[in-house]
Amino acid sequence: MARRTDPAHDEAPVLRVGIEDAPDSYDFAIKAKRLTGGSKLNVRLDKPNFQFDIDTRGVKKASTYDVRFGRYDLKFERMTPAGTMTFRHPNLLIPTGTIAKLNYKAFSDRHRTLDLELNHNGTRTDEKLSG
């Protein structure tokens, strides 16, 4: 799924994708704090690898400094027969030109962190997100 902003205006879009996969279902939402006009933000659910991919390679750099650029609010829900588990990570930094891969396979009530792989200009960085 992709979202292209109006070239004449900065925007703060929300992209949301979900999947029903018995017995569990998953819902992902990412809100850009601010995208430069004419930017393209891509998200993809990679079901075989249990990853939610966020691609900022089409996001344009800001012409003026604003702390909101490159920042995203992330929300993830895993719905099971036992109930819903929610993970929130506000103000996540994903620099322009980065592919971020969020691994959600191990997320559970006992394991409340998510692994995030960031690939930027040929460099890979791994982070653990808590929410």
Q: What is the tally of structural domains in the chain?
A: 1
Q: Which domain holds residue 55?
A: 2-130
Return contacts of 10-17, CB within 8 angstroms, 24+ apart.
10/34, 10/35, 10/36, 10/37, 11/35, 11/37, 12/68, 13/41, 15/41, 15/43, 17/43, 17/44, 17/45, 17/52
pLDDT digits (tens, 9 = 90+) for 9-63: 989 999 999 999 889 999 999 999 999 999 999 999 999 999 999 999 999 987 7
pLDDT band at 7 (very low <50, low <70, confident <90, very high): very high
The pTM of this model reads: 0.90
